[in-house]
Amino acid sequence: MSARVVRWFTEHRRDLPWRRTRDPYAIWVSEVMLQQTRIAVVWPYYERWMLRFPSAADLAAAPLDEVLAAWSGLGYYGRARNLHRGAREVVARFGGALPATAAELCSLPGVGRYTAGAIASIGFGRREPLVDGNVARVLSRLFAIEGDIKAGATARRLWSVAGELVPEERPGDFNQGLMELGQDVCTPAAPRCEACPLADLCAARASGRTAELPVVGKRRPDADKPLLAHCAVWLERRGRLLLARRRPRGLFGGLWELPQAPDRVRLEAMFAALGGRLELDRAPEPVFQHRQVLSHRRLAIDVHVGRVRGRLGRAGLGAGEAYERVAWHSLGTLDSLGVAASSRAILRRHEELQGWTDRRPLSRSSKRATRRSSRA
């Protein structure tokens, strides 16, 4: 079975940039980027990243803002923060070279069993298994494994089966072959069994159950996800925009965004704690409404225009506050910052509408355009 997968992969492997190298660092970067992200999206990010941070030492030496800016648009920013922290540990603990064993790899921030298996098998030729969504689907059908593939007992069985199958020779090609089979042949709907090198061994195909397996629990509907509603303020002064940077941990950790709070009262209180006085437009309606669905929650951000009086300090940013810093940034240099996707979307809409920084009341037509764009 393993030999068939390796032969098939040798003949059908796609030419992807991270497959042109056996550099464990490059494989690490690619595997982290590919988590919950499509190959077509990752490809240009990976190539730019490797030019900018070609080694763990280069990544470790870069400031976090530069790292997050390079990641901007890929989402799940905790992956970028963990890569940065992990690179610094690789330099401090392993002299700049990734360790070869899965156990040592798992000691790095953000590196779990799957990523460790990928780096160890592909980068170092170690006999280590890996199980992602594609591999789980292939193995579930191949061995008619019942049970939700995300449930603990089923996941443990899948890992056990994968571990038994990994060959001594070319374990990385075998693991990549299983992933490729799941990606291109053993697809969730309408699998191409006639093109599969394991078709005659597949229990699901033999019993006509390819549509039933694997068993996957239902996803939570978007409407049932908790709503995070915030009031944000657009503060512009002489071509500079005031942004706030979140603390490193938690949602959007380490990213810059428009200053925001759950409501106008708490937003004004935050600026008062910083030594300033926030003056928001009197209009009750926001100038722009941003709506976004994340993996586990929904965002609803109402953007208001304002001005701030006084000199802002840092004394009001205590340990319990969401932000660690506020600063004025030139509108022309925001691409060099790690800006949260929600604020970057608001920036794009500002460029299109060009209507809310003059601090004059919006016309009825502008209000209608704003409401239409927010609904879209």
Catalytic residues: 31
Q: Strand 288-293 vs strand 256-257: parallel, antiparallel, or unpaired? A: unpaired
Report how far residue 180's alpha carbon sits from residue 288's, in angstroms, rounded to the nearest whole number.
43
User: Of 34, 36, 35, whose CA–CA distance to 16 is shortest?
Assistant: 34
Instruction: Please classify residue 119 by burial: count the beta carbons closer than 10 Å to its beta carbon, then call 0-12 exposed, 13-18 middle and 19+ buried.
Output: buried
CB 254 within 8 A of CB 338: yes
User: Of 130, 165, 136, whose CA–CA distance to 148 is shortest?
Assistant: 136
In one letter, which amino acid is 206?
Answer: A
Length, in residues, of the chain: 376
First to last CA, the chain: 50
* 111 token code pair: 């590196």
- Give the dihedral sign, CA 65/67/69/74: negative
Q: Strand 236-237 vs strand 323-330: parallel, antiparallel, or unpaired? A: unpaired
